[in-house]
Amino acid sequence: MDSAILTTLLIVAVGLSNQDSCDGDNPLILTPMLNCGHIEMAKNMSFVRNLPQAKEIESYSGFFTVNKEFDSNMFFWFFPSKRKNDPVMLWLQGGPGLSSLLGLFSLNGPLKVDENMVISTRKYAWTRSLSMLYIDNPVGVGFSFTKSENGYSRNQMDVAHNLYEALKQFFTLFPEQRANDFYVAGQSYAGKYVPSLAYKIVTNKSFEINFKGIAYGNGFTHPISTLNYHSLLFNFGLIDEHQSLILKEKEDELKKMIAFKHFSAAYYMFGDVYASIRNFTGYTYVYNLVEHERPKDLDNFEQYVLLPETRQAIHVGNLTFKSYSRLVSIRLLEDLMDSVKHLLEFILNRNYKVLLYSGNLDIIVATPFIENFIQSLNWTHNKEYFSATRSLWKVNGNLAGFIKKAKNFAFVTVRNAGHLVPYDQPEAAFDMITRFVENKL
């Protein structure tokens, strides 16, 4: 019998066992089918059927092998827009080590979960104007997995390589999406992932992607620019002068470590700064000035994705789900305090669209930090940006924030939002991202 036919039969057998198994022993890995050219079969098998309480939502999920040697596989969940020509946007959560399913269920995806495991649709889901792709990144986060210690990312080159491999397979699986505009977006530590992947896409011509730009919120792109907590917290009235001086001493020491590229020591020193902030302020949640504890509903989705019916529907088998992976975070120890500022400048100077946005109530990557970072950027139109007028931004007659822009770059400050802008201000976030992709900011 022809080997290709044997391969096809094997793929079908494995795939059907994944779909039909009640608790699902094996995840659905699509790469072998794609490599054999069985695109329609792979797409059909990745279709999400009988998702609990959300059977009417069209979506696709599965795994792409991004490193065969280490058996590294990335989980994706794709929600196509009802309009076939809408742009595709990849969403990457930060951390490092947080599952992008947090973004799907708690920030901007079409579904949300309440404390009783009841599913409802999100009014301002970004899928109203975009096809949204969520990938658990880096390998080892969420449902993504590797079978080798060497499969974990150590730096942004590793992260970008794996994501790029996943994207090539995604656009092979969904060739109808390949001509549509493509954007990379995220928040927080994704302020490193996003420019790194964008750089990989732009400089690697082995697979054409219709890449248009990037968007991310409260990004940890250039860590040294955030080291002014002593002033920020003092001005907010959260610490006194003595505590401010203690923080400043630690920040100054940390800046020296970064300058000399002692990134391992800087990692632990940043942890010390973070611990001091928590101890001085009493805040266990440093992502919104008016919230000192983490909102409980952010994590409602974790129980939902572990339901046997959900596991079966999204083809994850019996894999462990890691909403946060400390292991992945530790593997990026040398990366944490390093900068990818130069990659963002690269994207800007090649005239790709860039949107940076910030919730004005964030602490950990506060708006003044991002303002200072933007001033340090070396790009063609920085003088034009600095002389531009900051305009009021209103949504349905209400003041949503402020916009400053020049050429291909825009910085949006979102009023009454913290680190998680789409969570705190969903209508404003939807308006912002829609205007961005439609060139109406």
Q: List, by residue number, the catalytic residues.
A: 188, 362, 419
Residue of 428, 440, 419 whose CA lies nearest to 186: 419
Residue 332 near residue 155, CB atoms below 8 Å: yes
DSSP 3-state of 133: strand
Residue 336 near residue 326, CB atoms below 8 Å: no
Tokens of 208: 């054409």
Residue 365 near residue 419, CB atoms below 8 Å: yes
Number of helices (H) and strands (E), helices first, in the chain?
A: 17, 12
Look up tokens 């065969």; give the residue. 68
DSSP alpha helices (H): ranges in 135-174? 156-173
Residue 431 near residue 417, CB atoms below 8 Å: no
The whole-angstrom separation of Cα 363 and Cα 368 is 10
Residue of 278, 187, 289 whose CA lies nearest to 232: 289
Residue 135 near residue 194, CB atoms below 8 Å: no
Kindly state the helix (H) or strand (E) to which residue 87 belongs, with its residue range: none
Tokens of 330: 């530790």
